[in-house]
Structure 1
Amino acid sequence: MSLVHRPLGSVDYVTTFEAQKRFTAERGPDTPDELWLLQHQPVYTLGLAGKPEHLLIPSEVPVVKIDRGGQITYHGPGQAVVYLLIDLARRNLKVREQVTLMEQAMLDVLASHGITAERHEGAPGVYVRDAKIGALGLKIARGCSYHGLSLNVDLDLAPFLRINPCGYEGLRSTSLKEEGATVTTDAVLAQLATRLTELLERDYPLAR
């Protein structure tokens, strides 16, 4: 049973959020795992523990309360988003292992473009020096994950200045473009899908 890659293009956040919940509620033991590859129209998302005060300067960009962990973040055009709809139990995969795997995929893709990034202890995601370039968040329901990761490729970083990204006051954001890489968001999405698939199928193959 192969991992399905589903390119969705540029999509509305709420519609995609509802589709993830519906997919997870309706999937069965033989439903293939999927990676949804997309970009979002501008939106702030506020996680379960999210504090509204982390939105410093309200704007026309909508704020959507959602069911992943974490605080507030921004999604917009030029950001590579991958949602991982994975049956963790079937792959004998723990949540912490999936988080590490997602971070590793972003680190590897960044390295392929000459960008040295790193993890920060206690702060999920990936960073270039003191600036965040990749974020992640998951929800587990019925033993399956949804939501996923976002990697800043070539997007307007100004909306991050209106928030405390992920709840951290003064946290800077950066992107592949800011770090000198010339690559399209679609190309980065394809790279992320390939690397995530390699890691999932090599390290956490389906139980037989």
Structure 2
Amino acid sequence: MNTIAVRELGRRDYSSVYDEMRAFTAARTPETRDELWRVEHPPVFTQGQAGKPEHLLNPGDIPVVQSNRGGQVTYHGPGQVVIYVLVDIARRGYGIRSLVTRLEDAMIATLASYGITAAARTDAPGVYVSGVFDDGLGPRPGSRKIGSLGLRISRGCSYHGLSLNVAMDLAPFSRINPCGLLDMRMTQVADLGGPADCSCVETDLIAALRTKL
């Protein structure tokens, strides 16, 4: 089986990387090596292929880009680890549901290494943290989302991928219903006692992805 290469893209505009993912996938052959693309985006809302406009509450001056991934609207910005997963899942012998689970498990394992307990949900892809949170009305138990994912499969190959909130401005998430979830609040690694260094989290998450994929 081909090994997975890691490509470091730095901070890049979402639309240009989106175009490159599609081109890479369209040009793949059975011998093309699988890749993980690590990137940080300037502030942007991305809307999934079947995204509903009512989940865009107040985008303001942050651009909204339509994409062909699954899922609803999400936000990307500095302080968030974004990894695009360009993998030939047909060659690896598993399907889309298995890929989703593997990506969620990699995020969960990475968070666990920081002492953060997270879990997936059967009704909404991504990774969630349960606990007691204070939204200004006093501490209350609840659930918050920390990791998101959206994928596209073309000719048995995946692109798009996952995002994990590390140490970012979470305020833009209040301008949308994240991933179409009403009243869903977001959280991040640094606020839960984990590292605030995206490079550290990136390294750990890529190691987990290589194990799970």
Q: TM-score when scaled to structure 2? A: 0.92
Gaps of 5+ in 1: 201-208
Alpha-carbon distance between aligned partners in 2 of 1:191 and 1:40, rounded to the nearest angstrom: 20
Alpha-carbon distance between aligned partners in 1 of 2:11 and 2:38, rounded to the nearest angstrom: 9
Alpha-carbon distance between aligned partners in 1 of 2:210 and 2:80, rounded to the nearest angstrom: 20
Confirm or deny: 8 A CA contact 1:50 1:72 kept in the other structure: yes
Confirm or deny: 8 A CA contact 2:195 2:201 kept in the other structure: no
SS of the residue 1:57 aligns to = coil
Alpha-carbon distance between aligned partners in 1 of 2:190 and 2:209, rounded to the nearest angstrom: 22
Query: For 1:63-113, what per-residue CA distance to the aligned partner results, in whole angstroms no more than 9, with x for missing partners?
Result: 001001111000000100110100111100110000000000000000111
Match of 1:40 in 2: 41
Task: Answer yes or no: is 1:8 the counterpart of 2:21.
Answer: no
Confirm or deny: 8 A CA contact 2:74 2:178 kept in the other structure: yes
Alpha-carbon distance between aligned partners in 2 of 1:140 and 1:182, rounded to the nearest angstrom: 32
Match of 1:151 in 2: 164
SS of the residue 1:98 aligns to = helix
Confirm or deny: 8 A CA contact 2:90 2:157 kept in the other structure: yes
TM-aligned CA deviation for residue 177 of structure 1:
1.2
Residue type at the aligned position of 1:197: R
Match of 2:184 in 1: 171
SS of the residue 1:84 aligns to = strand
- Where do 1:133-148 residues align within 5 Å? 133-148=146-161
Alpha-carbon distance between aligned partners in 2 of 1:7 and 1:187, rounded to the nearest angstrom: 14
Task: Answer yes or no: is 1:54 the counterpart of 2:55.
Answer: yes
- Where do 1:100-111 residues align within 5 Å? 100-111=101-112
Confirm or deny: 8 A CA contact 1:73 1:166 kept in the other structure: yes
Match of 1:99 in 2: 100
Match of 2:137 in 1: none
SS of the residue 1:120 aligns to = coil
Alpha-carbon distance between aligned partners in 2 of 1:135 and 1:161, rounded to the nearest angstrom: 15
Match of 1:64 in 2: 65
Alpha-carbon distance between aligned partners in 2 of 1:20 and 1:182, rounded to the nearest angstrom: 29
Gaps of 5+ in 2: 131-142
Identity of aligned residues (%): 53
Task: Answer yes or no: is 1:181 the counterpart of 2:194.
Answer: yes
Confirm or deny: 8 A CA contact 1:38 1:189 kept in the other structure: no
Alpha-carbon distance between aligned partners in 2 of 1:182 and 1:191, rounded to the nearest angstrom: 11
Query: For 1:29-68, what per-residue CA distance to the aligned partner results, in whole angstroms no more than 9, with x for missing partners?
Result: 1000000011111100000110111111131110001001
Alpha-carbon distance between aligned partners in 2 of 1:188 and 1:25, rounded to the nearest angstrom: 30
Alpha-carbon distance between aligned partners in 2 of 1:114 and 1:73, rounded to the nearest angstrom: 26
SS of the residue 1:8 aligns to = strand
Alpha-carbon distance between aligned partners in 2 of 1:48 and 1:173, rounded to the nearest angstrom: 22
Match of 1:204 in 2: none
Residue type at the aligned position of 2:190: K
Match of 2:205 in 1: 192
TM-aligned CA deviation for residue 3 of structure 1:
1.0
